[in-house]
């Protein structure tokens, strides 16, 4: 693995554990086994490295979601697959946790990969709901964007519930509730 990739992965891991502010350039360098010169050769500073790390984390999350959302099956089956995907509920969402980091939210360049991921996810899910409407699975009266927002909010809220209770069953209860609601909407 090249130094740039080691630095990005180290930043992803450390930001996921500690947040942006508590992740020092020195800790990143030690974790990556890279020197200061290497870090500043590849990145203009900590914020530039953090943006690369957030972008990589967002791309990984989108790829994992897309695999499920583009799988064969009905719209309901694909949405159910997404909701029931195995996740480490106590660790939280690899992207969503950064929406709670004040330093990330305050910096447009750092916030953008987080915001873009959730925009993409809502749009992708809304498209699947619309496909389900066209196929007669869901009523035409549904607002696909609202359903998509509710699905994304359920997953993100499920992480919060699980972490607050220190119990992954809280996440499962939230996502299973969403599956039941979507199933009830079907015809």
Write the DSSP assignment of 42-68 as a string of letters: H-SSHHHHHHHHHHHHHHHHHHHHHHH
Per domain, the residue ranges of the chain are: 3-185
The per-residue pLDDT for 187 is 62
- Average pLDDT of the chain is 94
> pLDDT digit string (tens) for 115-150?
999 999 999 999 999 999 999 999 999 999 999 999
The model's pTM is 0.92
Q: Which residues of 146-166 are buried (b: 16+ CB within 10 A; e: fewer)?
A: ebbbbbbebbbbbbbbbbeee
**40 and 26 Cβ atoms separated by less than 8 Å:** no
Q: How far is CA 70 from the centre of its chain?
A: 17
Q: Which CATH fold topology does 3-185 show?
A: Tetracycline Repressor; domain 2 (1.10.357)
């Amino acid at each position: 693995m090249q130094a740039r990739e080691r630095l990005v992965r180290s930043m992803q891991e450390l930001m996921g554990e500690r947040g942006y502010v508590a992740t020092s350039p020195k800790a990143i360098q030690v974790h990556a086994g890279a020197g200061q010169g290497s870090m500043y050769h590849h990145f203009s500073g900590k914020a530039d490295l953090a943006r690369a790390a957030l972008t990589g984390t967002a791309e990984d999350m989108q790829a994992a979601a897309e695999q499920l959302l583009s799988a064969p099956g009905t719209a309901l089956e694909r949405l159910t697959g997404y909701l029931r995907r195995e996740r480490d509920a106590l660790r939280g969402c690899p992207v969503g946790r950064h929406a709670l980091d004040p330093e990330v939210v305050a910096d447009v360049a750092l916030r953008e990969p987080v915001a873009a991921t959730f925009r993409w996810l809502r749009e992708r899910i809304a498209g699947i709901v619309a496909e389900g409407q066209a196929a007669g699975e869901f009523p035409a009266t549904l607002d696909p964007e609202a359903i998509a927002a509710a699905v994304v909010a359920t997953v993100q809220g499920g992480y919060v519930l699980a972490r607050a209770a220190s119990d992954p069953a809280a996440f499962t209860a939230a996502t299973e509730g969403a599956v039941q609601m979507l199933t009830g909407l079907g015809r």
